[in-house]
Amino acid sequence: MKKISPIAAFLLCFVLFPSVPSAKKPIKDMVRIPKGCFQMGTATEYTYFDHEKNHRERPVHKVCLDSFYLDKYEASQKQFKKITGRNPTKLINNDWPADHVRYPDALAFCAEQGKRLPTEAEWEYAARAGGPKNNSGPLHDYVWHSGNSSRTPHPVGSKKANAWGVHDMLGSVWEWTSDWYSVTYEISPRNNPKGPKGQRSHHVIRGGSWPDDESLIRVGSRHPGMADATESFLVGVRCARKLKSGK
């Protein structure tokens, strides 16, 4: 029998045994968020801009999550228009974050890419990045808010990423999550909670936006989502994805 050269044998392996994509293989412009547990919610008392106390962030409770992928950046206007065919934003610039994004459009934007919206727990876990706060340094190094934005949006990803490599989790624009909004955290499973069951009036938005005062931008802040034309709720979108199923 004629011997096969080592090079030919090496090439033959790729033909007969093609590589299978690994669940751990990085996905372009997504960050793999590690499996783990964290304390979700806020223990300190704060007052919202509508003069309500932050009871909606209580009680603090332990949540454990499986690993998942999360978009490194909020959707830019260019990306949102490329995927959906439209740009709902009022202040137009391809590199700025898409805002005034309606919840159904956020769902469609993610679904078109084989992704989904993050749950509220996934969002907060990724924002905290393994610590009690979102960032390890001064807020203005990571966040666009009213004090440093010059009252205008800025390109996505132009501030520092947090410890897990995700940009603009706070400030810039609010972000949709998949959970229905409840005025308090309801009793839910400790593992991979998905929010209240049954339809409610609004889904939860997180993160704050560039017109918001620095004092109001906190990782625990949560609101019922309204992608309207007010300065308080400039809502964009960031997608998530499971490691194996791709949804």
Q: H-helix or E-strand containing 80? A: helix 77-84
CA separation for the pair 102, 91 (Å, rounded):
16
Task: Write out the chain's pLDDT in tens, 247 residues.
Answer: 445 454 444 333 333 333 333 344 557 899 999 999 999 998 888 877 667 777 788 889 999 999 999 999 999 999 999 999 999 999 999 999 999 999 999 999 999 999 999 999 999 999 999 887 776 678 889 999 999 999 999 999 999 999 999 999 999 999 999 999 988 776 778 999 998 887 788 999 999 999 999 888 989 989 888 766 555 579 999 999 998 754 5
In a domain, 125, yes or no: yes
In a domain, 126, yes or no: yes
Bridge partners of 167, per DSSP, are: 161
CA separation for the pair 3, 245 (Å, rounded):
42
Instruction: Work out how many domains the chain is built from and give that number.
Output: 1
In a domain, 104, yes or no: yes
In a domain, 89, yes or no: yes
Q: Which domain range does residue 177 map to?
A: 23-242
